[in-house]
Structure 1
Amino acid sequence: MRRKTKLCVILLAVMMLCSGCAEEKKPPKLSEVGFYLDTVITLTAYTEDKQVLKDALEECGRYEKMLSRTIEGSDVWRINHAKGEPVEVSDDTMNILRCAQEISGKSGGAFDVTIAPVSTMWNFTKEPHELPDAEAIAKAAELVDYTRMKLEGNQVTLPEGMMIDLGGIAKGYIADRVKAYLKERGVKYAILSFGGNIVAIGNTKPDGTSWRVGIQDIDKQTGEYMLISLNKGGSTVTSGTYERGFDLDGVRYHHLLSAETGWPVQNELASVTIFSESSMEGDALSTTAFVLGTEKGLELIESLEGIEAVFIAKDRTVTYSSGAGDYMVQ
């Protein structure tokens, strides 16, 4: 009996050793592409579930119907057409607006979702390119003031004539929610691209290699990178003058507008990249830091816990926040 017992133990040990040697089966890499909020969205995940990414894109569509300024009946549309009356909105919309107000307060209004009276006057795709009427812009800028938007419970009250536009923060929120949705559906590794917003699930890819995110070269075509960063399971967001805009008479007119003047911000910067856990915060802060400029923008970023930034100037000078180097491929 003792010999038989020893033989069984040896056989069991060999079986366990062999099973340990067998390479763990990796799930296939799947992708789905959609177009929401004027942005191409690409969801890539390592999963056996072929339906999960399709369902995630449907979630994008659901959020667009809630947050779009132009879709009739959306929360934002109803706020903008309420003529000063309070509007009951979803928890999602209220979460976004409260975050926006917080960042507006910390930045002295450099970020302001009530920018819509001004932003709607700019058309960056129309040709031939032309500038809005300066007097009309000045008048519209008088209606931009985040302090006049009242948030109570789930009610939003905006003075008549004012409007909101969540284009500088909604994509980040949707990216966060889609990430949470995929994790709930069992996805452990994914990279989600919402235009300038990149969100990862998992600190690394399934094979242990890092997620790498390129930072656009400000002087070259889309897809040519000036820097390479690491995404460690959080969010990477870049805002730059090259994204949407046109050149006229030697001046670059882009979508990053001053809430004070209504005109594209003209400072030393070409782009700002934010590393954060929340893509909603990263989305808003990339715009905010750009508007503030390198010095004041860096001061704001350093005051925020868990947020790092890379500032790229028009002359290609690169400035890092104190912890941003940890996210860069050297």
Structure 2
Amino acid sequence: MTTRRRFLTISAAAIAFPYQSVAAPVYTWQGIALGARATLRLAHPDAKAISARVAAEISRLENIFSLYRPNSSLMQLNHAGQLDFPPFELLECLSIAGTVHRASGGRFDPTIQPLWACYAEASAHGMLPEKDAISRACSKNGWKRVRMDSSAIVLEPEMALTLNGIAQGYIADRVAEMLMDEGLTNVLIDTGEFRALGTHPDGRAWPVTLAAGGEVPLDTRALATSAPLGTTFDEQARVGHIIEPRTGQPVQSNWREISVSAASAAVADALSTAACLLETRDEIDTFVAQFQDAHVEDATAV
């Protein structure tokens, strides 16, 4: 099993930006968000102080969404099956996830955590799970079995949630909102998914290079990429981490990676994940078109 929780398939070219800018030099902060590399790029006299506030905000959000911090809100929910008075951010992220779940015909489903854990546990022993284990894990799925409002989120027995296909994008959105509230523009946020506030300081769009080739210019927009074999459960790297919730099987995808842009990084993140479960480019385009101002930037076939 690969060690990275999520395959990072895109990288910003801002560090070696090919244009001479009359603006202040771009400052780059680097850190971690949900186990993935995170960066912030901006040109501002107080860039270091701003970056420290961003790091603190990311840490605060990890205390909500992390599956690795034992006291995170998500871990408390999964352990107890109920979380009273949940954080607004968790409710909002789950609401977006529910919208994508319905639009994808159930392909995007945060309740697959027991399935993911089933594969991860078997992988740790150099194996793939038995059919009976997969069937038992599948019986714990079901977005319709999640009940939530401002007073509580309630799961049925043995259920658990993962937000790995949306939370990195959501964190980028929250960081963007924080910086916008401070009046900042010309910032590129990368939490594993990209969110641009305005343009590069020289006025051009931020150039983001796709791993499969090509470049996407980002201007007040988000970009996310998913790769079915970015994280794998076998030594041959053939059994990927994106699981079809209705069958319990890792997707045998036609796609090496799919990149989606949208106004929201959370939406782009979830759409790119769900799109990996679709077979044709027409199906992907039709699915993504259900969301206002969302576009498929690239779908690289295997």
TM over 0.5: yes
> Is 1:306 paired with 2:293?
yes
Q: Distance in 1 between matches of 2:109 and 2:256?
A: 20
C-alpha deviations, 1:89-108, integer Å up to 9, x for none? 01110001111111111111
Q: CA deviation at 1:31?
A: 1.4
The corresponding residue for 1:159 is 156
Q: Distance in 2 between matches of 1:206 and 1:190?
A: 8
The corresponding residue for 2:225 is 238
Amino acid at match of 1:40: R
C-alpha deviations, 1:94-152, integer Å up to 9, x for none? 00111111111111111011111011123399678532233212210121110110122
Inter-CA distance 260–125: structure 2 relative to 1 (3 Å threshold): closer
Moved over 6 A (4+): 124-128
Equivalent residue in structure 2 for 1:182, among 175, 179, 183: 179
- Aligned partners of 1:176 and 1:278 also within 8 Å: yes
The corresponding residue for 1:210 is 205
Stretch of structure 1 that moved more, 258-267 or 156-165:
258-267
Q: Distance in 2 between matches of 1:129 and 1:86?
A: 35
- Aligned partners of 2:127 and 2:234 also within 8 Å: no
- Aligned partners of 2:229 and 2:239 also within 8 Å: no
C-alpha deviations, 1:48-84, integer Å up to 9, x for none? 102111110111011001111232232211211224x
Q: Distance in 2 between matches of 1:87 and 1:296?
A: 39
RMSD of aligned residue pairs (Cα, Å): 2.3
Q: Distance in 1 between matches of 2:162 and 2:263?
A: 23
Alignment of 1:115-264 (within 5 A): 115-123=112-120, 129-195=126-192, 197-202=193-198, 204-217=199-212, 226-245=213-232, 252-264=238-250
Q: Distance in 2 between matches of 1:303 and 1:234?
A: 18
- Aligned partners of 2:256 and 2:300 also within 8 Å: yes
- 1:244 partner SS: coil
C-alpha deviations, 1:253-299, integer Å up to 9, x for none? 11111111222101312211111000011111111111123343222
The corresponding residue for 2:17 is none
Q: Distance in 1 between matches of 2:179 and 2:57?
A: 10
Q: Distance in 2 between matches of 1:272 and 1:298?
A: 11
The corresponding residue for 2:42 is 45
In terms of Rg, which structure is larger?
Answer: 1
The corresponding residue for 2:15 is none
Stretch of structure 1 that moved more, 226-235 or 161-170:
226-235
Stretch of structure 1 that moved more, 295-304 or 104-113:
295-304
Higher RCO (C-alpha under 8 Å, 6+ residues apart): 2
Q: Distance in 2 between matches of 1:38 and 1:216?
A: 20
- Aligned partners of 1:124 and 1:255 also within 8 Å: no
Q: Distance in 1 between matches of 2:91 and 2:214?
A: 35
- 1:167 partner SS: coil
The corresponding residue for 2:25 is 28
- 1:180 partner SS: helix
Q: CA deviation at 1:33?
A: 1.0
Equivalent residue in structure 1 for 2:272, among 263, 266, 286: 286
Q: Aligned pair count?
A: 280
- Aligned partners of 2:186 and 2:197 also within 8 Å: yes
Q: Distance in 1 between matches of 2:287 and 2:180?
A: 31
- Aligned partners of 1:124 and 1:245 also within 8 Å: no
- Aligned partners of 2:22 and 2:202 also within 8 Å: no
Q: Distance in 2 between matches of 1:57 and 1:96?
A: 20
Amino acid at match of 1:144: N
- Aligned partners of 1:118 and 1:141 also within 8 Å: yes
Inter-CA distance 242–46: structure 2 relative to 1 (3 Å threshold): farther
Inter-CA distance 120–247: structure 2 relative to 1 (3 Å threshold): closer
Inter-CA distance 126–90: structure 2 relative to 1 (3 Å threshold): same
The corresponding residue for 1:77 is 75
- Aligned partners of 2:76 and 2:83 also within 8 Å: no
> Is 1:56 paired with 2:54?
yes
- 2:93 partner SS: helix
Q: Distance in 2 between matches of 1:153 and 1:185?
A: 28
Unaligned runs of 5+ in 2: 1-20
> Is 1:276 paired with 2:273?
no
